[in-house]
Structure 1
Amino acid sequence: MLEIPLVMLTGAAAGALNAIGGGGTFVALPALVAFGLPPVTANALSRIALVPGAVAGAWVYRRELAPVGAASMSSLTAASATGGGVGAVLLLMLPASSFEAAAPWLLAFATVVLAFGRRLSRALGSAFGRPLSMSARAVVAGQFVLAVYGGYFGGAVGIMMLALWSIGLGLDAAAANPMRVAQLAAVFLSATVLFLVASDALSAPLLLVAMLCGAVAGGFAGAHLARRLPAPLLRGILLVTAVTTTVLYFLRG
Structure 2
Amino acid sequence: MTGPQQLAVIGAGLGAGILTSTVGVASLLSFPVLIALGIPPVVANASNTLGLLPGALSGAFGYRRELREVPRHQTIAVVVICAVGAIGGAALLLALPSKVFASAAPWLILFTCLIVGVQPLISRWLRSRSDHPHGTPRSMSPATIGFTALTGVYGGYFGAGAGVMMMAVLGLGLDLELRIVNGLKTLALLAANLVASIIFVFIADLDLAASGLLAAGSIVGGYAGSHIGRRLPATLLRVLIVLAGVIAAVLMLR
What does residue range 147-158 of structure 1 map to in structure 2 within 5 Å?
A: 147-158=152-163
Alignment counterpart, residue 144 of structure 2, candidates 132, 139, 145: 139
Alignment counterpart, residue 15 of structure 2, candidates 10, 13, 19: 13
* Cα drift, residue 198 of structure 1: 0.8
| Cα-to-partner distance string for 1:188-224 (whole Å, 9 max, x where unaligned) | 00000111111111xx332221111111111122212
Equivalent residue letter for 1:236: L
* Cα drift, residue 173 of structure 1: 3.1
Alignment counterpart, residue 188 of structure 2, candidates 164, 183, 191: 183
* Cα drift, residue 55 of structure 1: 0.6
Q: How many residues align?
A: 246
What does residue range 43-122 of structure 1 map to in structure 2 within 5 Å?
A: 43-65=45-67, 66-67=69-70, 72-119=74-121
Identity %: 32
Identify unmatched segments of 5+ residues in structure 2.
none
Deviates more, 1:152-161 or 1:236-245: 236-245
2:211 equivalent to 1:205: no
Equivalent residue letter for 2:40: P
2:238 is aligned to 238
Deviates more, 1:136-145 or 1:149-158: 136-145
- Distance between the aligned counterparts of 1:239 and 1:85, measured in 2? 32
CA RMSD of the aligned region, Å?
2.6
1:250 is aligned to 250
Distance 1:71 1:118, change over 3 A: farther
The alignment's TM-score, normalised by the length of structure 2, stands at 0.86
- Distance between the aligned counterparts of 2:66 and 2:125, measured in 1? 28
Distance 1:152 1:235, change over 3 A: farther
Distance 1:9 1:117, change over 3 A: closer
- Distance between the aligned counterparts of 1:100 and 1:191, measured in 2? 19
Equivalent residue letter for 1:249: A
Distance 1:248 1:5, change over 3 A: closer
* Cα drift, residue 122 of structure 1: 5.2
Deviates more, 1:104-113 or 1:38-47: 104-113
SS at match of 1:37: coil
- Distance between the aligned counterparts of 1:185 and 1:34, measured in 2? 26
- Distance between the aligned counterparts of 2:210 and 2:172, measured in 1? 38
- Distance between the aligned counterparts of 1:250 and 1:145, measured in 2? 27
2:227 equivalent to 1:224: yes
Alpha carbons 1:71, 1:136 under 8 Å: kept: no
1:36 is aligned to 38
Equivalent residue letter for 1:10: A
Distance 1:177 1:103, change over 3 A: same
* Cα drift, residue 77 of structure 1: 0.7
Distance 1:214 1:158, change over 3 A: same
Alpha carbons 1:84, 1:190 under 8 Å: kept: yes
Alpha carbons 1:71, 1:139 under 8 Å: kept: no
* Cα drift, residue 13 of structure 1: 0.8
Distance 1:116 1:197, change over 3 A: same
Alpha carbons 1:52, 1:216 under 8 Å: kept: yes
Distance 1:239 1:174, change over 3 A: farther
- Distance between the aligned counterparts of 1:132 and 1:49, measured in 2? 36
Identify unmatched segments of 5+ residues in structure 1.
none
Alpha carbons 1:54, 1:219 under 8 Å: kept: yes
Equivalent residue letter for 2:27: T
Alpha carbons 1:125, 1:132 under 8 Å: kept: no
